[in-house]
Amino acid sequence: MKSIIKKVVCLLVAIVLCDQTVYAYSSVKARVANKTITYKFGSFTEGIVNKWYLKYAWQNALSDWPNAYSRITVVQSSSTSNTLGMMNESSSYLYGSTEMDFYLTSGHIYYFFGKLNVGNPDITNTNVARSAANHELGHLLGIADLNSGNAIMNVNRNRSSIYVPQTDDVNGVIATYTTWGN
Amino acid sequence: MKKICNCLIIILVAVGIICGIVSAGNKTRHVVINDYAACTDLKQMHERAQFIVEGYFMPSTGTWNMARDDFDTSKESQKYYTEGLLYPFNVESVFKGSVPDTITIIQRHTDNYSGKTTVDDNYFDIDFYKKYIVFLYYNEEFDHYYAGFVPWAIKVENEVVYLEGVNEKSIIEDTITGNNYQAVLNVICP
């Protein structure tokens, strides 16, 4: 009897292990509700000085995500406090940064401020800026940083060539909302 | 009377439970997540750094606001404060680039973009009695050297090396072969 139980347990463990698919993405509970990013743009100009290329990067990213996964919605709203803008941090290894506030129980983000770092000299490259913008939006959709892999969430990606969400990123978003709900 | 008391107790308990549920539901958290440049191996660190030097840090001489005015980098930001710690660094060996005998290195310490101070994930306490190999960039405008990616510092203790300032040391653990100083030198000054 004991040996039968042992065999059954081993079989079950084997089935469970075989059924595991390895993904690189890492999902987290904090995410925007209903896969909807509601935002307004911050300021990109002062006098004659402008940083429009950063606004274009955000605009591209706001199209890239719904193109990669059609269930993602973006809504521009002047009444929201959620902002996509810029920062100017000098002598820094940052390309961008997102601060967010979310409810612990639901995981829903109720405030965010995504920033692209104009102080990083690399960000004048259009693809690099777009890559950073897509990375930040990935955080709003509940996926975390990675150290490797073909993904926009990989902090070591080549930002000139990986600048739109990849399959692994989309899988990460799907997993996030499957695990935690809309 | 007893009935009324029981009813009151039940109502109070129910209100308590509802309040508890509501307050738990309203608990919030503030997080800051950064997209930063990172290297996964020593060869990459060697390729990407403008300067690679070995030497000793001296105690910090002060702080510098890395957050600058959005449109004029020469002025510090009036809205935000990102604290960078300034350290004089006595250079003993130069493995890449050309630098003076003493340079100033800035280390990102904290940021405060929303009134809440957050310590940088990659910050580490510097040991002033130990030798370091550091991978740097140069900011001409402010005449200081800085980390353009993480990890950017390797602590040397006799012939043993330790990677500093990375949350997940496994990123480049393989390349710090056996934590061996000579193995590191073989990569950064072949």
pLDDT over 80 (residue B24)? no
Q: A154 forms bridges with which residues in the sheet?
A: A146
Domains of chain B and CATH, by start: 1-30 (no CATH), 42-188 (2.40.50)
Contact of A124 with chain B, judged by CB distance below 8 Å, is answered with no
Which of residues B81 and A50 earns the better pLDDT score? Answer: B81
Q: Which backbone phi and psi does A43 adopt, to 5 degrees?
A: -85, 135
* CA–CA separation, A110 and A33 (whole Å): 9
Are B55 and B91 in contact, with CB atoms under 8 Å apart? yes
Residues of A in contact with B139 (CB under 8 A): 90-91
* pLDDT tens figures, B128-164: 999 999 999 999 999 999 999 988 999 998 888 888 8
Residues of A in Cβ contact (< 8 Å) with B142: 90-91
User: Bridge partners of B82?
Assistant: B111
Higher pLDDT, B182 or B178: B182
Q: How far is CA A44 from CA A85, B70, B190, in A?
A: 7, 9, 45
Whether pLDDT at B117 is above 50: yes
Helices (H), A22-166: 52-68, 126-140
Taking each helix axis from N to C terminus, what angle separates A126-140 and A52-68, rounded to the nearest 10 degrees?
Answer: 50
Q: How many CA atoms lie within 13 A of B149 on its CB side?
A: 20
Q: Note the pLDDT tens digit of each residue in A12-46.
A: 554 444 444 445 787 788 999 999 999 999 989 87
Interface of A with B in 16-35 (CB under 8 A): 30
- H or E stretch at B162: strand B160-164
Can you give the pLDDT at residue A1? 64
pLDDT in tens, B78-111: 988 999 999 999 999 999 999 999 999 999 999 8
Tell me, what's the pLDDT at A33? 97
Q: Judge whether residue B15 has pLDDT over 70.
A: no
- C-alpha distances (whole Å) from A150 to each of A23, A146, A155, B36 are 11, 10, 10, 17
Chain B residue with the nearest C-alpha to that of A148: B40
In a mutational test of the A interface, the residue from B23, B31, B35 whose CB has the highest number of chain A CBs within 10 Å is B35
| A and B: number of Cβ contacts within 8 A | 126
Decide which of B23 and B55 is more confident. B55
Integer Cα distance of A35 and A31 in angstroms: 8
**What is the nearest CA distance from B92 to chain A, expressed in angstroms?**
23
Q: Positive or negative CA dihedral for B7, B13, B16, B17? A: negative
For residues A75 and A81, give the distance between their C-alpha atoms in angstroms, rounded to a whole number. 13
Domains of chain A: 24-180 (3.40.390.10)
**Quick one: pLDDT at residue B99?**
97
| pLDDT of B77 over the 60 cut | yes
ipTM above 0.85, yes or no: no
Mean pLDDT of A129-155: 94
Q: Do B66 and A47 touch (CB under 8 A)?
A: no
Q: What is the mean pLDDT of chain B?
A: 86
Residue B84 three-state SS: strand
Q: Any idea which residue has 């990616």 for tokens?
A: B149
Helices (H), chain A: 2-18, 52-68, 126-140, 167-180
Is residue A34 exposed (0-12), middle (13-18) or buried (19+ Cβ within 10 Å)?
middle
pLDDT score at B170: 46
Please check whether residue B33 is in contact with residue A145, taking contact to mean a CB–CB distance below 8 angstroms: yes
Say whether B77 and A135 touch across the interface (CB within 8 A).
no
- What is the distance in angstroms between the Cα of B127 and the nearest Cα belonging to chain A? 22
What pLDDT shows up at residue A28? Answer: 81
Where does A22-145 show beta strands of DSSP type E?
36-41, 45-46, 49-50, 73-76, 83-87, 94-103, 109-117
Tokens matching residue A144: 């975390």
CA distance B136 to B134: 6
Instruction: Give the chain A residue nearest B80 (alpha carbons).
Output: A87
- B67 and B111 in contact (C-beta within 8 Å)? yes
Averaged pLDDT, B36-53? 90
Report the percent of chain A where pLDDT is more than 70: 87
Task: Give the per-residue pLDDT at B38.
Answer: 87
Q: What is the residue-averaged pLDDT of chain A?
A: 89
Alpha helix ranges (H) inside A38-154: 52-68, 126-140
Distance CA(B148)–CA(B151), nearest Å, equals: 9
pLDDT of residue A16: 46
- A52 residue type, one letter: W
Residue B17 has pLDDT above 70, yes or no: no
Share of chain B above pLDDT 70, in %: 84
Q: What is the C-alpha separation between B33 and B20, in angstroms, rounded?
A: 30
Q: What is the pLDDT of residue A20?
A: 42
**% of chain B exceeding 90 in pLDDT:** 48
In this prediction, residue A19 carries a pLDDT of 42
